[in-house]
């Protein structure tokens, strides 16, 4: 649900989209230089966020699995997070930094998608708000006539896009490799 809200914010009223980066090298082009074209897309996204908000530039990327694979191969531009080899991923995980921007790999995000965004240090610089007002509610355990026990759980939260201009997204087509 959060992904859908962020993507709709980025697509509808967000910063200008940056299009698709295709991983297939041109005729005679080396793969090394093709990967570095992705850095140009990151800078384009950063400038689009700045132009839309006049407040901040891209300081995080949320990547699907294929997009994260390419980002991790960007040599001296990508610095892995310390202790990453000791972490057992059970969902989104911080991979490291790409030219000072936090890179998060989200296995639930569309595999070829990258969401670029700016996260400020207070609510005035927030693009999206997540407010859990019932973090977890559990009903009492009920034992039925056939001696089966049931317990209900409920969690509820509010999601609100505050400033859609702080998001943009692009796609990474790595199917051609």
Query: Residue-wise pLDDT tens for the chain (177 aa)?
Result: 555 666 665 555 556 667 788 888 888 888 888 888 888 888 888 888 888 888 888 889 988 888 898 899 888 999 999 988 888 888 899 999 999 999 999 998 888 888 888 888 887 777 777 888 888 889 999 999 999 999 999 888 888 887 777 777 666 666 655
> What pLDDT is recorded for position 12?
52
Domains of the chain: 2-126+163-173 (3.30.2320)
> What pLDDT is recorded for position 140?
92
Contacts 24+ apart (CB under 8 A), 55-58: 55/118, 55/120, 55/125, 55/166, 56/118, 56/120, 56/125, 56/166, 57/118, 58/101, 58/116, 58/117, 58/118, 58/168
> What pLDDT is recorded for position 146?
92
Total-model pTM: 0.76
DSSP for 101-156 reads: EEEEE-TTS-TTEEEEE---SSGGG-SEEEEEEEEEEEPPPEE-TTS-EE--EEEE
């Amino acid at each position: 649900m959060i992904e859908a809200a962020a993507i709709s914010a980025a697509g509808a009223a967000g910063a200008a989209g940056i299009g698709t980066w295709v991983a297939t090298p041109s005729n005679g082009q080396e793969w090394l230089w093709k990967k570095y074209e992705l850095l140009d897309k990151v800078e384009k996204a950063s400038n689009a966020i700045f132009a839309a908000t006049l407040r901040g530039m891209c300081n995080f990327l949320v990547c699907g699995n294929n997009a994260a694979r390419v980002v991790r191969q960007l040599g001296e531009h990508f610095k892995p997070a310390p202790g990453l080899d000791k972490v057992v991923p059970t969902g989104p995980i911080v991979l490291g930094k790409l030219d000072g921007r936090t890179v998060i790999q989200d296995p639930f995000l569309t595999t070829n998608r990258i969401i670029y965004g700016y996260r400020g240090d207070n609510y005035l610089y927030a693009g999206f708000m997540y407010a859990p007002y019932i973090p977890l509610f559990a009903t009492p355990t009920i034992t039925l006539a056939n001696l089966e026990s049931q317990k209900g759980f409920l969690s509820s939260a509010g999601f609100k896009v505050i400033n859609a201009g702080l998001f943009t997204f692009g796609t990474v087509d790595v199917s051609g490799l």
